[in-house]
Amino acid sequence: MILVKEYEVADRKHLRAYEQIRIAKFWKTAVNEHNGFKINRFSHKQHYENNKIEHCEKMKQYRRENSESVSAYNRKYYEENKDKLRAKEKLRLQTRFDCECGGKYSLSSKSNHFKTQKHQKWHHAQN
């Protein structure tokens, strides 16, 4: 190995950053092909995006092979968080939405709203 340049750095992270700059600059002739450092937040996300299909297949296979333990875990989780889950679902169902026809509806009455005369008149006027 040949010393190319000497840097004064505060810590190891800065040294790796300089190493990455040199690798990027001389990428054709560089012996070190691996990055000096990488930002974990982006690399994990990128790895997941690149291997999304394989990851999903592994998860499906795991759930098939361990269906009893997965269902037991889900039952236990539901029992421990029953009140919180019910409150969350109640809030989701009570959330009001503004329709483009000028009406308002909640998620539980969405289909009834679409059948109202007000919404039907608006819908026919749009077409």
For residues 97 and 113, the answer to whether their CB atoms sit within 8 Å is: no
Is the pTM value of this prediction over 0.75? Answer: no
Residue 1 pLDDT grade (very low, low, confident, very high; cuts 50, 70, 90): low
CA angle 113, 117, 119 (to 5 degrees): 55
pLDDT digits (tens, 9 = 90+) for 26-71: 777 777 767 766 666 667 788 888 999 999 999 999 999 999 999 9
Give the pLDDT of residue 97: 93
Write out pLDDT tens, residues 91-127: 998 899 999 999 999 988 999 999 999 999 999 999 8
More confident residue, 47 or 83: 83
Residue of 92, 98, 99, 93 lying closest to 121 (CA atoms): 99
Cβ count within 10 A of residue 123:
12
CB 103 within 8 A of CB 116: yes
